[in-house]
């Protein structure tokens, strides 16, 4: 029991000394915190005073959309910082912004020179070096130095900039028509949100088309199958397959390939209408082929091959029957192309006094059709009289309307 009271007395004594110690220590901590705060504020004020006046001038110029003045002011700041070698981090950050401004203004040579100069800094850490390499790659790309751009982006493999670099590399491979590299890289980039299967199918179609042009039918078949494996709704793959079967005189197989497009996307049937008819005709089934095309046009009114139907009906049945078929189809779903075709057919049946005026109307409608009916990219709305699988404006695949529309 005596030992217990002894320990209690010791604890009370320690508690007293601890309290005294806190009385001395707490003011010291408060004083240190106050001094630290004062020092931080002082450092901030010192840094604010040290910001070059040219920086404010460049920001003001950017607000006023005077990019030439902004670029000149930023350039003076960055050059001074690089020469002084006393603020590499700020020089790096401003250099990245200035390089982008140069690229925006089309001054690619200045952007390249600046980024190369910044890369020569001996104190550059890995992350900042990778950022500069990425910007330099974009400089080269915009300047048209694609090989040098490719080298910069490939050097960023296994870095934090790898994904961004690979996405630009994918565009470069497509520009270079290096479809095998594009397939490999797209497969590497694929993930749950973006599978790239749509693009990969198109890359295989490009390879298949090239093989077909060389009459390398076995290789073409392999690429067609790979395209369908990547995207079973790839209409282009079946178009190429139908062309391949026709070249090998497998006309029923060609018909099967072309007609399979109806299940994939019926809008593309117009692109194979003539080839489908020719495959039937090669089997001495021209009438059956024409009926298939008529059935498509009755079912899908947006298809625009009324002229093909008229031409083939004219060859098979003569002018009167061809005119009847065409008139029924146009009345079923009237549109500008159909009206123009109908005017061309009916003009010969009009009384002599009406023919001149009717021909004038047909000419006006024809000009309007030529000017206003175009293929259009559904992504960027780029318009063209020519169909593209790969939009030349936004670089997206299979975004062009397969039938001309009024724009």
pLDDT of 168 above 90: yes
- Distance (Å, whole) CA 244 – CA 236: 12
In this prediction, residue 166 carries a pLDDT of: 93
Q: Are residues 60 and 162 in the same domain?
A: yes
| Predicted local confidence at residue 280, as pLDDT | 97
Query: In a 3-state reduction of DSSP, which class is residue 308?
Result: helix
Is residue 72 domain-shared with residue 42, that is, in the same domain? no
Domain presence at residue 43: yes
Domain for residue 139, yes or no?
yes
Of the listed ranges 92-96, 152-156, 206-210, 276-280, the least confidently predicted one is: 92-96
pLDDT at 298 over 60: yes
CB distance 172 to 182 below 8 Å: no
Average pLDDT over residues 353-359: 73
pLDDT of residue 69: 53
Among 132, 161, 176, identify where a domain stops.
176
pLDDT of 219 reads 97
What CATH code is carried by the domain that includes residue 107? Answer: 1.25.40.10
Answer yes or no: is 300 within a domain.
Answer: no
Q: Are residues 29 and 68 in the same domain?
A: no
DSSP state of 400: B
Q: Of the candidates 136, 153, 176, which is a domain's last residue?
A: 176
Domain boundary among 159, 176, 193: 176
pLDDT at 294: 95
Confidence band, pLDDT 50/70/90 cuts, at residue 370? confident
Q: Are residues 13 and 122 in the same domain?
A: no
Domain that includes residue 45, residue range: 2-50
Q: Tell me, yes or no, whether 147 and 38 share the same domain.
A: no
Q: What is the DSSP secondary structure assignment for residue 397, as one 8-state letter?
A: B
* Rounded alpha-carbon distances, angstroms, from residue 203 to 15, 152, 153: 79, 24, 21
What does the pLDDT read at residue 197? 93
Statement: residue 49 has pLDDT above 70: no
CA 2, 6, 12: angle at the middle one, nearest 5? Answer: 145
Whether residues 118 and 57 share a domain: the answer is: yes
Model confidence at 13, pLDDT cuts 50, 70, 90, reads very low
76 and 45, same domain (yes or no) = no
pLDDT of residue 401: 93
Q: What is the CA radius of gyration of the chain?
A: 36
Q: How confident is the model at residue 275 (pLDDT cuts 50, 70, 90)?
A: very high
If one compares 85 and 374, the residue with the highest pLDDT of the two is: 374
Supply 201's token pair. Answer: 């199918």
Residue 320, strand partner residues: none
The whole-model pTM stands at: 0.76
Count how many domains the chain has. Answer: 2
Residues 58 and 172 in one domain: yes
**Within a domain: 246:** no
Q: Classify residue 118: in a domain, yes or no.
A: yes
Q: Which segment of 66-75, 193-202, 265-274, 387-396 scores lowest on mean pLDDT? A: 66-75
Model confidence over 103-145: pLDDT tens digits? 887 888 888 888 888 887 777 777 888 988 998 999 999 888 9
> What Å distances lie between residue 279 and 103, 115, 178, 252, 285, CA to CA?
52, 59, 33, 7, 9
Token representation of residue 12: 């009370």
Instruction: Mark whether 93 and 160 lie in a shared domain.
Output: yes
- The overall average pLDDT reported for the chain is 80
Distance CA 382, CA 102 (A): 27
Does residue 342 carry a pLDDT above 70? yes
Rounded to whole angstroms, the Cα distance separating 67 from 105 reads 8
| pLDDT above 70 as % of the chain | 76
Residue 84 lies in a domain: yes
Query: Is 70 a member of any domain?
Result: yes
Residue 104 counted as domain residue: yes
What is the rounded CA–CA span in Å between residue 136 and residue 114? Answer: 9
Same-domain check for residues 84 and 155:
yes
Each residue of 197-212: pLDDT tens digit? 999 999 999 999 999 9
Question: Do residue 151 and residue 163 come from a single domain?
Answer: yes
Note whether 39 and 112 are same-domain residues: no
């Amino acid at each position: 029991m005596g030992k217990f009271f002894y320990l209690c007395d010791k604890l009370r004594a320690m508690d007293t000394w601890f309290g005294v110690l806190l009385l001395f220590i707490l003011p010291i901590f408060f004083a240190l915190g106050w001094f630290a705060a004062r020092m931080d504020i002082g450092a901030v004020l010192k840094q604010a005073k040290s910001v070059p006046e040219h920086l404010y001038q460049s920001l003001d110029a950017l607000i006023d959309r005077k990019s030439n003045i902004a670029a000149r002011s930023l350039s003076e700041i960055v050059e001074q910082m690089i020469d002084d070698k006393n603020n590499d981090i700020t020089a790096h950050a401003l250099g990245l912004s200035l390089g982008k401004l140069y690229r925006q203004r089309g001054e690619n040579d200045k952007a390249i020179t600046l980024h190369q100069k910044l890369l020569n800094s001996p104190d550059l850490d890995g992350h900042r070096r990778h950022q500069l390499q990425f910007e330099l790659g974009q400089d080269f790309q915009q300047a048209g130095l694609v090989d040098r751009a490719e080298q910069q982006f490939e050097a960023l493999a296994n870095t934090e900039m790898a994904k961004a670099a690979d996405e630009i590399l994918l565009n470069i491979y497509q520009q270079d028509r290096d479809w095998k590299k594009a397939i490999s890289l797209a497969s590497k980039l694929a993930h749950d949100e973006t599978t790239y299967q749509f693009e990969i199918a198109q890359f295989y179609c490009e390879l298949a088309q090239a093989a077909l042009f060389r009459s390398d039918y076995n290789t073409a078949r392999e690429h067609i199958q790979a395209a369908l494996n990547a995207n079973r709704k790839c209409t282009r793959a079946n178009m190429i397959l139908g062309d391949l079967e026709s070249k090998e005189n497998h006309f029923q197989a060609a018909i099967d390939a072309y007609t399979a497009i109806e299940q994939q996307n019926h809008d593309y049937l117009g692109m194979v209408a003539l080839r489908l008819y020719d495959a039937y005709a090669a089997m001495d089934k021209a009438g059956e082929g024409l009926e298939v095309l008529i059935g498509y046009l009755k079912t899908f009114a947006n298809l625009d091959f009324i002229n093909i139907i008229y031409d083939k009906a004219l060859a098979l049945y003569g002018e009167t029957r061809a005119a009847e078929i065409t008139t029924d189809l146009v009345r079923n779903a009237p549109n500008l192309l159909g009206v123009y075709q109908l005017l061309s057919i009916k003009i010969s049946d009009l009384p002599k006094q009406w023919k001149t005026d009717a021909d004038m109307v047909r000419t006006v409608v024809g000009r309007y059709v030529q000017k206003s009916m175009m293929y259009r990219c559904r992504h960027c709305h780029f318009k063209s009289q020519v169909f593209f699988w790969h939009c030349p404006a936004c670089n997206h695949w299979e975004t062009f309307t397969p039938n001309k529309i009024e724009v």
